[in-house]
Structure formats: C-alpha cells, structure tokens
Amino acid sequence: MFEYLRRRSQTAGRPPGSPMYVGVERSDPVSVEMITYDAGGAESVRPKKLSECACFEDGPKITWINIDGLHDMGIVNQAAQIFKIHPLVLEDIVHTGQRPKMEELRDGGLFVIVKMLVYNEEERRVEDEQVSFILGKHYLLTFQEHAGGDVFEDVRKRIMAQKGRVCTLGPDYLMYALLDAIVDHYFVVLERMGDDIEEIEEQLLAAPKPKHLEALHELRREALYLRKYIFPMREVVAKLEMGGHELVAENTIFFLRDLYDHTIQVMDTVETFRDMLASMVELYLSNISLKMNEIMKVLAMFTSLFTPLTFLAGLYGMNFKNMPELEWQWGYYGVLGTMAVTAVGILLFFRRKGWIGNKG
C-alpha cells in the first residue's frame, strides 16, 4: 500500500487525463489475446500488432480482447487510440491502486475495475492484481496488471469448447463469467488464509511465542486489505444487478444476483476472520499474562518462604556479646529446627489457601 502511495505521488501536479503507469516495475513483455466467438464456433489469436484488433466493434460475433501488462505505456497508449478509450478512463486503468468501481461511459459502454486475488504459497500471503473491463455492444476489453496467469482459464476453455451459456449469450454474460471466476477464487484465497489462522491458533494454545504475534499482525493486515478490495466489489456487483443499462440483459441480471450473494458470503467470511484474529491476539496476550502471573506466583512464594528464615538467620548472625542462645549447647540445632518448622508452616498455610498444590 505504501509503495503504491509513493508511486502515486509521482503523478502529483500532472493535468487530469495524463495517463502514467503507477504500479510495480516489470520487464516482462505485454501479451495480447483476442477471442472471437458465437454459437457456431470460436477462434483465439495472439496478434503481433494491436492494429490487428481494430475490428473489435464489428458484429454479430462477440470479441474478447485481453491485454496482460500495463507497464509498457507505449502499447497502452496505442490500445487507447485503437479502442477509443477516454484519457480519464485510461488513467484509471494504469493506476493500479484503484478502488473497485463501475462507471457508465459517454459512448454508452460500461467501465468496471475489480481486484483479482491469488494466494502465494511460497510466501504464504495474498497478492492482488487490478483487472479493468470495458463492455461494449459486441465486445469486451480486459486489462490485467501483469502477465503470468489469471483465474480466467476455465472461461477460455468453455468458450473454445463451445460449452455453457457463455457461447450463446452476449458480452455482458462474458463479463459476468469473468467476475464470477474472480469472486470464486476469493473463496480459494480465504480457504488458504483460514488454514493459516487455524495453524496459528493451535500453536497459540500449545505454546505462544513472539513470532506468533507477528504472524497474527500480518494476517490482520491482510484481512484489512481483503476488506478494502471486497467491500467495494460488492457495490460494483450490486450496481450491475440493479439493471437499467441497455448493455446488461435481463438474463444476465439473474446471474448477477447470484454473484452478489457470493460477494456477501465472502464479505461475511472476511469479517469473521477479522473477529477471530482479534480474539487470537487477546488470547496470546492472555496466555502471556497468565504465564507471567505463574512466574510471579513462584517468585512470591519463594520470597514469602525465605523472608522469615532470612530474619532468623540475620537475627542470630548479629555480633552481640549478650545473646543467651549463643551459649546454649543445642542453640544451633534449635534455630535450624525453628527455621524448618516455620518453612513447613508457611507451605501448609499456602496449601490450605489453595495457592499451591491446586491443579484446578
């Protein structure tokens, strides 16, 4: 987040509508894929030049153009000219820290920004990628933050295999299918995150350590970021399923309502995780406090036990000449016996009070 803010600050002072890539610096090449399909068949090509995609508005077939990578502003600006993207819209596309949102464009299209989440198994953390949609009458444009995989492969396979409703319905249903794939993958990410929470919870109950508190803070931070991305996602789907736009058919609205229910479930799960993590932090602090109390209890017991013994030893360690007990034949053993009786008496008193020997 802070890295994005540092990069975002570089655009300060620039006039509105001056696109500048704001995101992680990358060197991998930008990838472009164009899929054209209808109920009769599908074709997928990877054009070497963006100009080959200039027929994207032609009907009656549906065209899905996906651009992987926003760091090359030369290609992005070229795409803006070919696809007739407004500079303000393009500015939102290349600023990768955008909040998920939906806007109606001047030409009657729809512009949607969402976050695609994946779980990094090696680093055990959630990573996000911005995905932008521009919906037209016969086409759908998607812009992904970087190449290297996404969650849309099942949708591509259904299109190429001519299976499912996506081949017979319009580009609005295609956008729904892609949004549904993103939201479904939220559940996968939450499942991995839930496993991490359960693992730390077991460790906390067994033997809490400072590293567990660090892991909890990291998970709480990720839960906060998830809420930041998922909460507005719910608003986006809610606006789409309310209807009222000519590009969103009534049949698609029915499916969008189901997608809205899924976003509610995801949001509830995130809120549950946040509550669990807050409780686990309290559990950690309580266990540490309990452990400290046990230590203090032992130290207090030793202090209480040896204080009277120290007093007796100090009393008879004074170098006064007139101390009758010093002349007794059994004085030394008498003092030791008094110490022993005092120590046993204190221990019995502690046991009677339930301060020691009480396993409950």
The token pair that represents 68 in the structure block:
């992987």
d(CA 355, CA 297): 9
What pTM was estimated for this model as a whole? 0.77
Give the pLDDT confidence score for residue 111 in this predicted structure.
92
pLDDT-derived band of residue 10, with 50, 70 and 90 as boundaries? low
pLDDT of residue 136 exceeding 80, the answer is yes
> Residue 60: is the preceding peptide bond cis (ω within 30°)?
yes
Lateral strand order in the sheet of 41-45: 41-45, 31-38, 62-68, 139-144, 125-135, 110-120, 101-104
Average pLDDT over residues 52-81: 80
C-alpha neighbours within 13 Å on the C-beta side of residue 141: 23
pLDDT per residue over 70-112, tens digit each? 887 888 888 888 888 888 888 888 888 888 889 888 878 889 9
- Token match 């259904």: residue? 158
Q: How would CATH label the architecture of 2-286?
A: 2-Layer Sandwich (3.30)
- Token match 């008094």: residue? 338
Mean pLDDT of all residues belonging to the chain: 81
d(CA 232, CA 253): 19
Residues in the chain: 360
d(CA 95, CA 217): 28
81 three-class SS:
helix
- Token match 């460790």: residue? 203
Average pLDDT over residues 341-357: 78
CA distances from 357 to 90, 154, 294, 314, 347 (A): 73, 64, 13, 30, 10
Give the pLDDT confidence score for residue 113 in this predicted structure.
92
Q: What percent of the chain has pLDDT over 70?
A: 88
Select from 29, 54, 33 the least CA-distant residue to 42: 33
Contacts of 266 (CB under 8 A, 6+ apart): 183, 186, 187, 190, 230
The helix (run of H) or strand (run of E) holding residue 119 is: strand 110-120
Give the pLDDT confidence score for residue 174 in this predicted structure.
92
pLDDT-derived band of residue 179, with 50, 70 and 90 as boundaries? very high
d(CA 49, CA 349): 90
Give the pLDDT confidence score for residue 56 in this predicted structure.
65
The token pair that represents 323 in the structure block:
């101390």
pLDDT of residue 13 exceeding 60, the answer is no
Helical axes 171-206 vs 210-241, angle rounded to 10°? 160
Average pLDDT over residues 44-58: 74
pLDDT of residue 360 exceeding 60, the answer is no
pLDDT per residue over 38-50, tens digit each? 888 888 888 877 7
Contact call for residues 243 and 252 (beta carbons, < 8 A): no
The token pair that represents 59 in the structure block:
């009907």
CA distances from 297 to 282, 291, 293, 304, 339 (A): 22, 10, 6, 10, 22
Question: Which conformational region is residue 110 in: left (phi greater than 0), alpha (psi within -120 to 50 degrees), or beta?
Answer: beta
Contact call for residues 233 and 185 (beta carbons, < 8 A): no
Average pLDDT over residues 115-121: 85
Give the pLDDT confidence score for residue 279 in this predicted structure.
85
Average pLDDT over residues 332-348: 82
pLDDT per residue over 248-290, tens digit each? 888 888 889 999 999 999 889 888 888 888 888 887 788 777 7
67 three-class SS:
strand
Q: What DSSP line would sit under 223-255, residue for residue?
A: HHHHHHHHHHHHHHHHHHHT---TTS-HHHHHH
Contact call for residues 254 and 176 (beta carbons, < 8 A): no
